[in-house]
Structure 1
Amino acid sequence: MKPLMYGYIRVASDAPDDEVDGIERQMRCFAEAEGFSYATTFYEYQNGSQAAFNELIQELRRAEARHVVMPSLEHLSSHRILCASMVERLETDADALVLTPGDT
């Protein structure tokens, strides 16, 4: 059985639906190529919100999953310190590893 991988995308208010769908397809392909079973994507729609991020952490704990993929760390935050804090929170609160397609 393949380990689960969850996706996370922060969606800009002006992002076209087909662009967001393409990003998710890329993350799904990445997960499959790396030997994971892609579970679902958590979408953050509101600028500054962490609601979907918090739901992601809860789901990682519930499913005992350890892997998250996102297009880039900028989807967490463009602010360097906040981004690092969010990665740390995924690592400490959910024991999760964050991957971006360019990592491998």
Structure 2
Amino acid sequence: MKPLIYGYLRAPDETPDDELDRLVSELQRFAEAEGFCYATTFFECQEGSRSAFEELVAELTRAEARHVVVPSLEHLSGHRLLCGQMIERLECVANACVLTPDSA
């Protein structure tokens, strides 16, 4: 059985649907190419919110999954320190690593 991988991305209201579809497809293609089973995508829709991120952490823990893919690290946060803290939370709480399509 292939290991699970979950997608996460920021999706503000002004993001066109076709752009979101393109990003999700990119994540799914990456997962397939790298031998993962793409489970689902967590969308952070509200600026400054981390509710989808917290749902992601809970799901990773529940499913004992260890991988997250994002289009770029900026989808976690555009702020370097906050991005680092979010990666650390995924690593420490969910024992998960963050991948990007260009990291393979």
After TM superposition, give the deviation of residue 74 of structure 1 in Å. Answer: 0.4
* 3-state DSSP of counterpart to 1:48: coil
More moved, 5-14 vs 47-56: 5-14
Amino acid at match of 1:13: D
TM-score normalised by L of structure 2: 0.98
Corresponding residue for residue 63 of structure 2: 63
Corresponding residue for residue 32 of structure 2: 32
* 3-state DSSP of counterpart to 1:15: coil
Q: Distance in 1 between matches of 2:29 and 2:53?
A: 22
Identity within the alignment, %: 62
Q: Distance in 2 between matches of 1:5 and 1:98?
A: 10
Is residue 2:14 matched to residue 1:14? yes
After TM superposition, give the deviation of residue 46 of structure 1 in Å. Answer: 0.3
Structure 2: 5+ residue stretches without partners: none
Q: How many residues are paired up?
A: 104
1:74-89 equivalence runs, <5 A: 74-89=74-89
TM-score normalised by L of structure 1: 0.98
Q: Which runs of 4+ in 1 moved over 6 A?
A: none
Q: Considering only aligned residues, what root-mean-square deviation do their CA atoms show, in Å?
A: 0.5
Structure 1: 5+ residue stretches without partners: none
After TM superposition, give the deviation of residue 12 of structure 1 in Å. Answer: 2.5
